[in-house]
Structure 1
């Protein structure tokens, strides 16, 4: 079964709080229920992969200003049928930032988040079941700007709140700060 590797990763993941535990359970149920969970055409929602890109010293992270949503996020995107969500996270990180020398810190899940994507002209409101992995990159690597982003930059962890109050971003920040 093409969903089994993701389900194994999810079953072995330990959430940090009750909110993340609830989203983990919701994600497991969604993946169990929908054989096409990796497909964008599934209108109720779909699995996505994201990258929490950290500097080697864990004091900075890469955030991008999303053009359509007009908010700051970590790089990530649709699986488009690919059940290897780590590969999805790597691909999306490269495409959205231009960083080509990304190191996988761990193949284990770093964070799980379920969030609503607002309706647009071509698609209804739906959920993203976002599976996140920690990657590492050198801070002197150049970025590219794409039509999907207004900006891409390294952000000091102490300054993340100046750009976003997004709960999931702050949760991921707290996870790396706990390691320092």
Structure 2
């Protein structure tokens, strides 16, 4: 099933997801290079809400660019299988192995702003991440490790701690939404 079909089938959780889903589908129909950074205005990314088996904790990384505790995730970089991107990024950013999808379906959708910044010595203009989030699971007993070029910390938080540890106001709302969805399942 294509990502467009997955988005068509996705049932939004709230008004934010409803409006973002509509915009994402429009973007896919009317834009080029949506899965690569060649599209300088917006491109797809994949994130994960990476929880333990009991669904009581989530892994967060201290993201150097955003100067905040954050979920794992990254750019599609041409890969249209965003679940694969989500798992790959989660493993790369945390050092965890055997990260699995709780469910292969989309867990959440959001359009996120990225402020202009310097990355590897070059300026990156402000743009949008057309983001798809997946619910992933890992063993909390496994050793965590930092990915030095992206983060300076990796740790498990309770669901409530994950929200309060984040210093980005909009992302706090997203993480709260993810926790609400988790508690309802």
Bin the TM-score by the shorter chain: over 0.9
Question: What number of residue pairs does the alignment pair up?
Answer: 176
**Which 5+ residue runs of structure 1 have no aligned equivalent?**
none
The CA distance in 2 between the partners of 1:173 and 1:46, in whole Å, is 25
Deviation at 1:44, TM superposition (A): 0.5
The CA distance in 2 between the partners of 1:24 and 1:155, in whole Å, is 29
The CA distance in 1 between the partners of 2:79 and 2:47, in whole Å, is 13
Alignment match, 1:171: 177
Q: Which deviations, in whole Å up to 9, do the C-alpha atoms of 1:117-150 show, x marking residues without a partner?
A: 0012422110001111111111101111012012
Conservation of the 8 A alpha-carbon contact between 1:38 and 1:79:
yes
Alignment match, 2:126: 125
Conservation of the 8 A alpha-carbon contact between 1:73 and 1:169:
no
Structure 1 range deviating more: 139-148 or 156-165 = 156-165
Secondary structure of the residue aligned to 1:32 is helix
Partner residue of 1:26 out of 23, 26, 33: 23
**What stretches of structure 1 move > 4 A for 4+ residues in a row?**
none
Deviation at 1:157, TM superposition (A): 1.2
The CA distance in 2 between the partners of 1:47 and 1:161, in whole Å, is 24
Secondary structure of the residue aligned to 1:115 is strand
- Pairwise mapping of residues 49-60 of structure 1 onto structure 2 (< 5 A)? 49-60=46-57
- Pairwise mapping of residues 70-81 of structure 1 onto structure 2 (< 5 A)? 70-81=67-78
Alignment match, 2:155: 153
Superposed CA RMSD: 1.2
State the TM-score, normalizing by the size of structure 2.
Answer: 0.91
Secondary structure of the residue aligned to 2:124 is coil
Alignment match, 2:4: 7
The CA distance in 1 between the partners of 2:67 and 2:162, in whole Å, is 16
**Which 5+ residue runs of structure 2 have no aligned equivalent?**
none
State the TM-score, normalizing by the size of structure 1.
Answer: 0.93
Alignment match, 1:134: 135
Conservation of the 8 A alpha-carbon contact between 2:34 and 2:42:
yes
- 2:13 maps to 1:16: yes
Deviation at 1:161, TM superposition (A): 3.1
